[in-house]
Amino acid sequence: MRLFVGLQLPARWRDAIGGALSALQAEGVRGRFLPPENLHLTLVFLGELPSPGPVRAVLDTLPRSAPFPLRTASPGLFLRKRGDIWWLGVERSSQLMTLQAGLTAALAEAGFSLEARPYTPHITLARQVKSPPNPLERLSLPALETTVRRVTLFSSQQVDGALRYLPLYHKSLI
C-alpha cells in the first residue's frame, strides 16, 4: 500500500479550489489537474508499506493539542522537466510545523524510513502543467481558513482506473 499522513480539506476548500482550477482549464491551461476530492495537505509521505496498522499505532501515540487554524497562502510551482507542479501554499504556522515535526519524529522513532528533504507545506493542484503561465496571476481564490482537529492516514490507490487518495484512519488531536 502506498501510504501518507496528511490533513483532509473541508468540502468548502475543495469546492473553491476545484472551481478555480476548472476556470484555468477552461482558459486552456493543460496539465493533470487534481479532482477536488483528491485535494489534501501531505504531512509525511511513507511510500509502499505492507499494511497501515503500524502507522496507525504511531498516530495513536501523538500527544493531544489544541485545535489550530489552517489558512491558505500564496500559490507557487515546482519546476519539473516533464511539466511544472502547481501548488497552493498554506501558512507555516508554528502549530502546523510542530505537528509535522512531531509526527516525523514519532514515525522515525518507530523505524519508518522517511524522506530527509525539508517540509514545504503545499496543496498540489496540478502536475505536468505544460503552459508557462504564472499561477500567482492566474489562480483566482479567496483566502480560506479552517480548523485542524485531526490527522488522517491516506492510501494512494487506483480506483476504476483513476488515482484516489482514500482516508483509512483519522486520529483526533484534541
129 contacts 84 by C-beta, under 8 angstroms: yes
Query: What residues numbered 15-34 form the site for ligand 2AM, per CB under 6 A?
Result: none
Binding residue for ligand 2AM, selected from 124, 126, 135, 153, defined by CB under 6 A: 124
The reply to whether 128 sits near ligand 2AM by the rule CB under 6 A is no
Element (H, E) at 33: strand 32-33
Of 40, 130, 144, give the one whose Cα is nearest residue 83: 130
DSSP string, 105-159: HHHHHTT-----SPP--EEEEEEEE-S---HHHH------EEEE-EEEEEEEEEE
Number of residues that bind ligand 2AM (CB under 6 A): 6
The answer to whether 169 contacts ligand 2AM (rule: CB under 6 A) is: no
The nearer residue to ligand 2AM, 34 or 173, going by C-beta atoms, is 34
| By the rule CB under 6 A, 45 interacts with ligand 2AM | yes
Considering only CA atoms, give the Rg of the chain.
16
Which one of residues 156, 164, 166, 171 is an interface residue with ligand 2AM (CB under 6 A)?
Answer: 156
Residue 42 as a binder of ligand 2AM (CB under 6 A): the answer is yes
- Phi and psi at residue 108, to the nearest 5°: -65, -40
Is residue 13 within the footprint of ligand 2AM (CB under 6 A)? no
Q: Is 119 in the site for ligand 2AM (CB under 6 A)?
A: no
Q: In angstroms, give the least distance from the CB of 139 to ligand 2AM.
A: 16
Which of 124, 57, 68, 75 lies closest to 97 in space, CA to CA? 68
The contact set with ligand 2AM (CB under 6 A) reads 4, 42, 45, 115, 124, 156
